[in-house]
């Protein structure tokens, strides 16, 4: 499956329409990015149930910044609009495969419950602040 170009214009549609999105932040001038590209595409072919997206950090600097990208390549995993993984560095094929498998295995109901607990705790802690 070919990856999609992720932009600030289409990110909402991409992450809403798909359960899991793997994002590769890259640039044309980045040699490690060029080396990692074929690995990213190979793993995308093995997982047609997952959307693989690429962000050109030169064209989409604002989007890269919103993910906290400081070094490229960086890989991020999103499920149900939640970032589960965000790591810089060109991952070997076996590591990227493991990241995808682990992302699929996450119990998102549990993740959403934990997020809700954290938000409630923050709200409760913020009520007493002057």
Active site residue 84: no
Distance separating alpha carbons of residues 2 and 43, to the nearest angstrom:
10
Give Cα separations from 97 to 33, 52, 76, 83 (angstroms): 17, 13, 13, 17
Specify the DSSP element, H or E, that contains 31: helix 31-46
Q: Which of 21, 33, 64, 72 is catalytic?
A: 33
Catalytic residue, chosen from 20, 21, 30, 91, is 30
Annotation marks residue 10 as catalytic: no
Q: Which residues are catalytic?
A: 30, 33
């Amino acid at each position: 499956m070919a990856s999609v170009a992720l932009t600030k214009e289409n990110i909402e549609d991409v992450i809403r329409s798909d359960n899991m999105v793997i994002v590769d932040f890259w640039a044309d001038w980045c040699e490690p990015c060029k080396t990692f590209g074929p690995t990213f595409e190979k793993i995308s072919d093995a997982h047609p149930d997952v959307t693989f997206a690429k962000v050109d950090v030169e064209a989409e600097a604002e989007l890269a910044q919103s993910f906290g990208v400081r070094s490229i390549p960086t890989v991020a995993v999103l499920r149900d609009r939640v970032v589960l993984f965000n790591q810089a560095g060109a991952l070997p094929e076996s590591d990227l495969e493991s990241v995808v498998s682990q992302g699929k295995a996450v119990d998102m109901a549990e993740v959403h419950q934990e997020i809700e607990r954290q938000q409630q705790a923050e709200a409760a802690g913020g009520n007493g602040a002057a």
